[in-house]
């Protein structure tokens, strides 16, 4: 009974033991609770070892029907774990001349190595091998070869954990214990139990351990390695150009309200589908000016006219942008300006010429014959009507007399007409006079009629 109490105290100490193991540093601590069985038959040949291990009929006799093994583990590094385990059992059957019913207890410290570091990691299956030592006490065994007490052992074996979730799993472990002082017998020990792993650090409480958490101080999602997705668009905030607005992956997480392929943050017209060339704004008339800047969004026009087509205010067929006279109808040949009004009409010119032919002088003199002044008055009236016209008065003679005399006479006669017109309201600046003598006859000087035609005054427009 005393030894049973000691064994129970040892197991209680294990329950409060803090060196526990997980399968990695995420959950560095593991505790386990289960049952164990002990096989203490003494093999005599190699085949007996195999029979001892897999063919034992005494397992049920050497197993307590309760929790009989407690373990505590602490993950170290590189797949290595340190395990402290305590177990109790009964020894009823073993290979001696008689059976017994004695207490078995053991405390073992072993180093485990996770075979996933060799075969590749799995999320649910952790096979391992172990090596270590411990202290085992068989109680009092009958026979000449065994005495009261226990001794140290060398332990080796293998096992595995099958994890149902991040924290709970099933453990199976099997191995042998080698004695050195002949106080106990070499034997096998097998165990099966439930294990609980814990102790992983999760600073932000998002269920992703800091070791695997890309954002350990900000709560996030497992699918994003612990990083947040504030707008829930499936793009983690660190990769999301618009982390607070749900968007699309094509636009780096930014929304596109008008569906034109341009993120709202870069879209000058986020509520109206447009083109990249227009910074997301539409251009309904295709004139290269966005509608929001186009004064005539439905009519194509140049930028210099605010996007509106050039008008034609004077309706002369010449657009206002090239019309030099946009308010007055004109012709294209004069860039929209009207043809200049003639300084005198053809009809008025004919009348002027007719009156000029009726200017007669007294023979050899510069004085007018009767009735001529009436014609001159008519000529003055026409000249005053056409104020923009300037006139040149030309005097001519026939060939009678000396040429020099005829020249002087033609000049004085032309001047006499100019003076009369100037004195009757025609500005002198508009008039000039010249004499050509007998040099430009319009008829033959050999006849009286011809010479009469040559004695004339002509009034022409000045260019």
Q: Evaluate if residue 20 carries a pLDDT over 50.
A: no
- The rounded distance, in Å, linking the Cα atoms of 321 and 305 is 9
Position 332 confidence tier, pLDDT thresholds 50, 70, 90: confident
Residue 342 has pLDDT above 50, yes or no: yes
> 295-316 b/e with 16+ CB inside 10 Å = b?
ebbeebbeeebebbeeebebeb
Interacting residues of 181 by C-beta distance below 8 A, sequence separation 6+: 151, 152
Q: What is the pTM of this model?
A: 0.47
Residue 1 has pLDDT above 50, yes or no: no
**pLDDT tens, position by position, 76-107:** 988 899 999 999 998 775 544 455 667 889 99
pLDDT given at position 97: 46
224: left (phi over 0), alpha (psi -120 to 50) or beta: alpha
> Bridge partners of 90?
103
Q: DSSP strand E in 164-320: where?
A: 168-179, 187-198
Q: Report how far residue 392's alpha carbon sits from residue 352's, in angstroms, rounded to the nearest whole number.
A: 12
pLDDT digits 0-9 by tens, 399-429: 998 999 999 999 999 999 999 999 999 998 9
The answer, yes or no, to whether residue 163 has pLDDT greater than 50, is yes
pLDDT at residue 392, rounded to an integer: 94
pLDDT for res 412 = 95
Confidence of residue 388 (pLDDT cuts 50, 70, 90): confident
pLDDT in tens, 209-260: 887 888 888 888 888 888 998 888 888 888 888 998 888 888 888 998 888 8
* CA separation for the pair 217, 202 (Å, rounded): 9
What confidence category does residue 291 fall into, taking pLDDT thresholds of 50, 70 and 90?
Answer: confident
pLDDT at position 142 over 60: no
């Amino acid at each position: 009974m005393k030894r049973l109490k000691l064994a129970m105290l040892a197991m209680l100490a294990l329950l409060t033991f803090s060196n526990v193991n997980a399968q990695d540093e995420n959950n560095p601590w593991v505790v386990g609770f289960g049952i164990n069985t002990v096989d203490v038959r003494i093999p005599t040949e190699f085949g007996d070892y195999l029979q001892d291990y897999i063919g034992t009929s005494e397992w049920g006799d050497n197993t307590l029907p309760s929790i009989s093994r407690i373990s505590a583990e602490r993950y170290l590094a590189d797949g290595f774990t340190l395990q402290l385990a305590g177990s109790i059992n009964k020894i009823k059957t073993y290979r001696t001349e008689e059976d017994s019913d004695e207490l078995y207890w053991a405390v073992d410290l072993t180093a485990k190595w996770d075979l996933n570091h060799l075969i590749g990691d799995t999320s649910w299956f952790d096979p391992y091998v172990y090596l270590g030592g411990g202290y085992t006490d068989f109680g009092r065994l009958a026979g000449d070869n065994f005495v009261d007490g226990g001794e140290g052992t060398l332990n080796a074996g293998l096992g595995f954990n099958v994890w149902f979730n991040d924290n709970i799993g099933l453990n199976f472990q099997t191995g042998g214990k080698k004695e050195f002082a002949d106080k106990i017998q070499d034997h096998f020990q097998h165990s099966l139990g439930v294990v609980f792993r814990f102790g992983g650090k999760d600073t932000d409480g998002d269920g992703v351990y800091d070791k695997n958490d890309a954002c350990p101080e900000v709560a996030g999602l497992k699918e994003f390695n612990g990083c947040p997705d504030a707008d829930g668009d499936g793009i983690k905030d660190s990769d999301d150009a618009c982390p607070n607005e749900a968007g699309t992956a094509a636009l780096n997480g930014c929304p596109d309200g008008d569906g034109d392929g341009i993120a709202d943050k870069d879209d000058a017209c986020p509520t109206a589908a447009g083109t990249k060339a227009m910074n997301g704004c539409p251009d309904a008339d295709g004139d290269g000016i966005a509608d929001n800047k186009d004064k005539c969004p439905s009519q194509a026009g140049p930028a210099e006219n605010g996007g509106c087509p050039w008008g034609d205010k004077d309706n002369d067929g010449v657009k206002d942008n090239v019309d030099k006279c946009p308010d007055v109808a004109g012709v294209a040949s004069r860039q929209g300006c009207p043809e200049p009004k003639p300084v005198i009409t053809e009809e008025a010119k004919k009348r002027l010429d007719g009156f000029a032919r009726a200017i007669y002088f007294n023979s050899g003199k510069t004085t007018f014959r009767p009735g001529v002044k009436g014609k001159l008055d008519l000529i003055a009236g026409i000249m005053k009507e056409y104020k923009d016209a300037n006139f040149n008065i030309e005097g001519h003679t026939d060939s009678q007399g000396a040429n020099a005399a005829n020249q002087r006479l033609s000049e004085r006669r032309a001047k006499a007409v100019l003076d009369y017109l100037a004195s009757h309201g025609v500005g002198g600046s508009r008039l000039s006079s010249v004499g050509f003598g007998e040099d430009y006859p319009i008829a033959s000087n050999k006849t009286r009629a011809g010479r009469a035609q040559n004695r004339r005054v002509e009034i022409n427009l000045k260019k």
